[in-house]
Structure 1
Amino acid sequence: MSTVKFNAVIATPTQTGVAILCALALSACGGGSSGGAAQQNPNDGLLRSVANNEEFVSQFRALYTRPAPSSDQQNSMQPVAAEGATTGDSSSGNSYSTTYTLEADVDELDVLKYDGDYLYIAPTLQARCCFVTPGIATAEDTSFAPPSPDQSAGIRILSTTPSDATATQVSTIALDEGEYVQGMYINGSQLISIGSTQYYGAYGDQWLGIASWQQQNLHIKVYDTSTITEPELNWDIGIEGGLVDSRRIGDTLYIISRHSPYFDNMYYYPSNQNETDANAQRLASIQPQDLIPLLTINGESRPLFTPQNCLLSRDDQNQDYASPVYTSVTAIPLGSPNNAKSLCFNENSSGVYVSQEALYLSQYRYTVDGDASRIHKFTLNDGSPEYRGSADITGQLWGPGQSDFRMSERNGLLRAVTTRFTGDQQDSRDHQLSILGEASQSKSLELIASLPNTRRPEEIGKPNEALYGVRFLDDRAYFVTFEQIDPLYVIDLSNPADPYIAGKLEIPGVSDFLHPVNKELLLGLGRGGPSQQSIKLSLFNITDISHPQELNSLLLGVDGGWNYSEAQYNRHAFSYLPSATGADRLAVPVQSNYQDADESYRSENRLYLLEIESKAAPATASVKLISSILASPAPNDSWHPGQNRSVIDGDAVYFLSGDAIWSALWGGGTNQSGPY
């Protein structure tokens, strides 16, 4: 498939309908005959190109004019006729920490950004609590839901003075009514905010539905912050659809969105012939422009994609997974957003992983053999997403928590670890590592190797152990499984065709999040202590991968209380500042709920400041607690206070708890400032 080309047609709002028709007409000129099904090329892969406008429309129409799949495969929403009404890596080489990311040089959306001079703070999000895929249990399952947002403050910009760890608000960017900012990016003197009418947070079963993705909009605003006291809005970009995820690589912003075309008086889950007949009549006259979402830039609109920029599922005989939901990948050059390019495919997307070279979208699938995952690869050459191939693998990738750590690309190969639920009470879960590479003769991803296999049958994890922390690092992988103890597995990936379990370590507790200190040391963050009620930090010596060792561990939080850290499931809450000459510094937020001496229930939010000492001598290295910063306690309030983020700038630490900033100098103890 060639690099995506977009037929750009710019129009004023009053010309939108004409512009759409013109763009679709232009695309049809190069799209083959005016009717009939596509001639399937056996090399097309699991996604294939649309032949023409008629096929694009007829494929969508067919999905609503056949009986719904069995009840265990459809969305939990009951079939009803619509009534026409709806409801709405952390190190940058600088002297300060930045947003912790999965991949270096692939920036991620977040509510707190820092450029060394200014803190940019988005208001508390709405509905930040995550949907959980049934069958996967992690520490997040018992997390608190946050309060409703206060959007009135807008995006705040604070100037920092690291010498004394103080901050001063210098400006505020007002938000429109109903504008909920999901997060931001910084690109030089540009501040990019992204918001949407709905957002589902971590990947889960809500991603598999139809109705929950209808009539949504996302908005992208690009501000010039050259004059920090008066940021100027340069680009106001709107996309019809719901926000799935986003990344920034250099000067290009990637948006993954989903759009479900909406029609009044439709049976979205037809269950009998009368309902399918009614749908057929309703959709008899639809045109491509009725299905394609709009991209609006500074008030001028055009189709987000054309039919020829869209791919269709090859499940032509069994359409259980073909979907009336369009998943789009849009590349927006931040210097010239009018040159945005998009492609789409007509399947659900239940997870995203992005490397510097490629973007992988995955879909959870039900099969007669159990859980499965379909993965699609798109390369990102020159800011143009291009389909490269797909694969189906056993087990599911996505659940609550930091599940995109389950995927990693190295030297063009995708490494992924999945979990399959067996239904066997004696061994309910099987975990499998798969290594995939592009096939040379087709648009497919070939299985290079898997683990366990007939030659290396040892299972990853003991019977009934769930998979928690996962981290791929160069030619190794680290997996933490847990039921009653915490086995840390080290997988040798140096020969991609023959991965194997090189070593393992069993210790109390469980690690949800793994961070590489260097090639010899690995840090684990999770739960430990009596009844697993404390936050546990473990430092591992991985110099000898056949015999990993725990060097030391710390328990954070209030003794006897229930303690929880947002960093367990959201890496953006974890801050890390490496040092070339001294100790590395890290910050971990912990919310504690407990009874005090008079038996009153209390809740506090604290940022723990820690160091990795002697990292150059792995055998004697340790993690050490230095001090902490306490956000104002909230007596008798057990609700999670919202977002928790932090920035380390030299000796200054800034702690975002909810919508306020507290700060202190490193090791300053109780001498802290705030709230700002």
Structure 2
Amino acid sequence: MQQQHNLNKTKQLFGMSILSLSVLSACSGGSDSGSVPEIELVTSPPEIVLKQNSGSPLQSSGANSVSLFVKNGIYLNNQQQFFTFLENDAVSTPASSSSRGFSQTNTQETGVDEADRVEYNGEYVFAADVPIWYPEEEYAPKVRILQRLGDDSLNQVADLDVASSYNVGGLYLADDKLAVITQSAPSYPIEIFRTSVFFPGFGGNNEATVDVDIYGLADPAEPSNEAEISIEGSLINSRRIGNTLFLITQYMPIVEGLVVGAQTDEELVSNYNTLLQLDDEALIPTITVNDNEFSLFSFDDCVIPADTNSDEGNAQLLTVIKIDLDKPEDFDATCLSAVADNIYMSPENLYLTSGYFESTNIHKVNLSSLSYKASGVVDGILGGRGAPNLRLSEHDDHLRVLTTDYSDFSDPEHQLYILNESSDSLEVVGQLPNDAQPEPIGKEGEDVFAVRYFGDQAYVVTFEQIDPLYVLDLSDHTAPEVAGSLEIPGFSSYLHPIGENLVLGIGQEVNQGNLPRNGEDVLILPTTSGMKASLFDVSDPSSPIVRAEQVWENSYTPVEFDYRALSVLQEGDTYKFAMPVETWIHDDRFFSRSEYSLVGLQVDVNAMTMEQAVRLTVEQDENELYIYGGEDRSIIHGDNIYYLRGNSFWHGTWSIDSKVTGPY
């Protein structure tokens, strides 16, 4: 695998006969033979079959085989004018901010950072503006830098302009480096677009890019632009470990000069022969670092399905890119012929998943070597409510996955799988339900609303009429079991482990009057009545109990859908949590307006208590346009709290009678 690619590398052509499997086999040895085979053009339209993504193993088949596979996929795509459907860290524990004295982005795994719109280093705040579209005004995305002053107020010291016409995709702060990720085209994380002839350029071009600007912060008030990176393709997701940035992108080559929607024999033959004579580099996405353009990888770096035949193909390329923030020109990249609509990353491995209807495909990539390791498939998909990546967790070299089978929408079935790498396959070594534990996860008709892993345990919330919290014992990889359960009204959409014995659940209360009584059927579906926080005691996994709960009527929090909206600060045995809240206020005319606030909860681990410690309310002018609260964030620094509402900061203190100052 190359660490620095040169566009002037030797270009090679390859020959093939679409009807001869032996030619493909002969080419599988790679592209270093030193000779350029003659190109055997076709005289009749070849019959190409789409090789759809699956959970079967992938393999490195050499540049010629990969090139043929991709060209076959392009040829197939250009016959279609419609979207193609597919048939198909150590201990998982929340990061703690106790050593720094201030909160950071709430992440799934300790040591694996996730992009967000706000970063903070204790003195400077870096905040990406979200688009607010006002009539007759253009939105100009930017990143604001604000300094925390001696009186705890904020003062803006710099602006970073964003070249993209779309909003900032996320920020990463690593020591004295700030990485700003943007996209030149919107990303639609659903497979229908990824397998379309119009993807990724939306309109038949290859203009979609993922852009990363790296700034030096020796003086945050005057950041220096150290690197401008542009990658062809669209962003699926990203992560950061230390000073290394990982980008997962998707790319589908669009070749000029082909007849789109070709139907006649003449058009089909012309298209295929054009592809046969095309240099491989024309099919490979580029990366530009400070005006120096490189091929992102070579086809020798790619893996395709191991059982591929010469008459099969797929133009979809999934790329994992590894960038050193200190030396961005020393990038590394690998590619897979696969589709991903979700990622999960532990400190050691990346898992790429895609689910469609009844199964989920999983591909494993090692982060240290950036090499493909194994693939597998499990029944069900990562559907339901909440973040799908929270349904996966790696522990003791095993991957745990909770999926749902929606074949019967009225009665979904949930399964937990434990997989282990064996050769190039991810093999199921344990699952639940099983012979010893045949009872389903969740009652009839219930869907999964939240999943969280913590060491050898998993917590699962299912809901239809009432909230069962399940505690799963995963200590025996081959025989997982339900250790205990608890039923309470309402449901949790997000679960946050606290220490070893407590779990915070954030979700919704339901109207008690709609719940069934004495075994009667429900006549009216339960309706939510307000945001709810519950403190669960799981010290006895066989008998979890509720230690405390609070409800805020007619309210919801973005944390229910995006866990990055929750701020967490641990101070010894005390945990501080802050979450933005949107409340609907109704007047006599049945008109509702939104009230925005930041709620702070304090949890005492030893006493197992939870109380509301602060609520900062921001009044919104009645004539102001509605601004979605889903991107609101906060920062806790000691006894100070900063609330980012829309694109403005407000300040308060960690006290029930806190005054609100701002905006900044």
Do both share a fold (TM > 0.5)? yes
Q: Which residue in the other structure is 1:447 paired with?
A: 428
1:278, distance to aligned residue in structure 2 (A):
6.0
Matches within 5 A, 1:522-561: 522-530=503-511, 531-556=527-552, 559=553, 561=554
Q: Which residue in the other structure is 2:522 paired with?
A: none
1:418, distance to aligned residue in structure 2 (A):
0.8
Q: Which residue in the other structure is 1:224 paired with?
A: 216
1:673 partnered with 2:661: yes
1:263, distance to aligned residue in structure 2 (A):
2.7
Q: Which residue in the other structure is 1:167 paired with?
A: 154
Sort the Cα spacing of 1:265 and 1:549 in 2 relative to 1 into closer, same or farther, 3 A: farther
- CA deviations 1:227-273 (Å, max 9, x no partner) are 12211001111110101111111111111111111134657777897
1:224, distance to aligned residue in structure 2 (A):
0.6
Sort the Cα spacing of 1:122 and 1:151 in 2 relative to 1 into closer, same or farther, 3 A: farther
State percent identity of aligned pairs: 30
2:79 and 2:493 mapped to 1: Cα distance?
36
Sort the Cα spacing of 1:32 and 1:387 in 2 relative to 1 into closer, same or farther, 3 A: farther
2:490 and 2:258 mapped to 1: Cα distance?
51
Residue 288 of structure 1, aligned match among 277, 280, 286: 280
Sort the Cα spacing of 1:57 and 1:205 in 2 relative to 1 into closer, same or farther, 3 A: closer
Q: Which residue in the other structure is 2:519 paired with?
A: none
Sort the Cα spacing of 1:180 and 1:265 in 2 relative to 1 into closer, same or farther, 3 A: farther
- CA deviations 1:562-599 (Å, max 9, x no partner) are x3321111111001111214x31111111123323565
1:632, distance to aligned residue in structure 2 (A):
3.5
- Give the stretch that moved more between structures: 474-483 or 165-174: 165-174
- Assess if the C-alpha contact under 8 Å between 1:567 and 1:573 holds in 2: yes
1:456, distance to aligned residue in structure 2 (A):
1.8
- Assess if the C-alpha contact under 8 Å between 1:165 and 1:664 holds in 2: no
1:643 partnered with 2:631: yes
Q: CA RMSD in A?
A: 3.2
Q: Which residue in the other structure is 2:24 paired with?
A: none
Q: Which residue in the other structure is 1:609 paired with?
A: 600
- Assess if the C-alpha contact under 8 Å between 1:514 and 1:523 holds in 2: yes
Q: Which residue in the other structure is 2:2 paired with?
A: 6
1:341 partnered with 2:316: no
1:335, distance to aligned residue in structure 2 (A):
1.5
2:30 and 2:176 mapped to 1: Cα distance?
40
- CA deviations 1:160-196 (Å, max 9, x no partner) are 14x7441111111122253642111111111111111
Is the partner of 2:104 in helix, strand or coil? coil
Sort the Cα spacing of 1:210 and 1:391 in 2 relative to 1 into closer, same or farther, 3 A: farther
- Assess if the C-alpha contact under 8 Å between 2:652 and 2:659 holds in 1: yes
Q: Which residue in the other structure is 1:373 paired with?
A: 360
Sort the Cα spacing of 1:70 and 1:503 in 2 relative to 1 into closer, same or farther, 3 A: farther
- Assess if the C-alpha contact under 8 Å between 1:219 and 1:237 holds in 2: yes
The one-letter code sitting in structure 2 at the alignment partner of 1:536 is K
The one-letter code sitting in structure 1 at the alignment partner of 2:68 is S
- Assess if the C-alpha contact under 8 Å between 2:3 and 2:330 holds in 1: no
Q: Which residue in the other structure is 1:316 paired with?
A: 308
Which structure has the larger Rg? Answer: 2
- Assess if the C-alpha contact under 8 Å between 2:144 and 2:159 holds in 1: yes
Sort the Cα spacing of 1:595 and 1:204 in 2 relative to 1 into closer, same or farther, 3 A: farther
1:387, distance to aligned residue in structure 2 (A):
1.2
2:452 and 2:195 mapped to 1: Cα distance?
26
1:438 partnered with 2:421: yes
Matches within 5 A, 1:131-280: 151-152=139-140, 154-161=142-149, 164-176=151-163, 178=165, 180-200=167-187, 206=193, 209=196, 211-214=198-201, 215=206, 216-264=208-256, 276-277=268-269, 279-280=271-272
- Give the stretch that moved more between structures: 253-262 or 63-72: 63-72
1:566 and 1:638 mapped to 2: Cα distance?
16
- Assess if the C-alpha contact under 8 Å between 2:4 and 2:332 holds in 1: no
1:414 and 1:203 mapped to 2: Cα distance?
24
Sort the Cα spacing of 1:51 and 1:29 in 2 relative to 1 into closer, same or farther, 3 A: closer
Q: Which residue in the other structure is 1:13 paired with?
A: none
Task: Number of aligned residue pairs: give it.
Answer: 605
1:73, distance to aligned residue in structure 2 (A):
8.8
Q: Which residue in the other structure is 1:106 paired with?
A: 112
- Assess if the C-alpha contact under 8 Å between 1:642 and 1:657 holds in 2: no
Structure 1 gap segments, 5+ residues each: 11-15, 37-43, 77-88, 128-145
The one-letter code sitting in structure 1 at the alignment partner of 2:329 is N
1:280, distance to aligned residue in structure 2 (A):
2.5
Q: Which residue in the other structure is 2:582 paired with?
A: 591
1:616, distance to aligned residue in structure 2 (A):
1.1
Is the partner of 1:211 in helix, strand or coil? coil
Is the partner of 1:280 in helix, strand or coil? helix
1:252 and 1:107 mapped to 2: Cα distance?
10
2:106 and 2:454 mapped to 1: Cα distance?
15
- Assess if the C-alpha contact under 8 Å between 1:210 and 1:325 holds in 2: no
Q: Which residue in the other structure is 2:73 paired with?
A: 63
Q: Which residue in the other structure is 1:403 paired with?
A: 388
The one-letter code sitting in structure 2 at the alignment partner of 1:587 is A
Is the partner of 2:68 in helix, strand or coil? helix
Residue 327 of structure 1, aligned match among 309, 318, 334: 318
Is the partner of 1:588 in helix, strand or coil? strand
- Assess if the C-alpha contact under 8 Å between 1:351 and 1:362 holds in 2: yes
1:509, distance to aligned residue in structure 2 (A):
0.8
1:313 and 1:125 mapped to 2: Cα distance?
41
1:461 and 1:265 mapped to 2: Cα distance?
55
Sort the Cα spacing of 1:641 and 1:511 in 2 relative to 1 into closer, same or farther, 3 A: closer
The one-letter code sitting in structure 2 at the alignment partner of 1:101 is T
Q: Which residue in the other structure is 1:629 paired with?
A: 616
Is the partner of 1:489 in helix, strand or coil? strand
1:147 and 1:311 mapped to 2: Cα distance?
49
Q: Which residue in the other structure is 1:300 paired with?
A: 292
Q: Which residue in the other structure is 1:50 paired with?
A: 61
Q: Which residue in the other structure is 1:467 paired with?
A: 448
Q: Which residue in the other structure is 2:489 paired with?
A: 508
- Assess if the C-alpha contact under 8 Å between 2:248 and 2:321 holds in 1: yes
Is the partner of 1:673 in helix, strand or coil? coil
Sort the Cα spacing of 1:532 and 1:71 in 2 relative to 1 into closer, same or farther, 3 A: farther
- Assess if the C-alpha contact under 8 Å between 2:490 and 2:509 holds in 1: yes
Is the partner of 1:339 in helix, strand or coil? coil
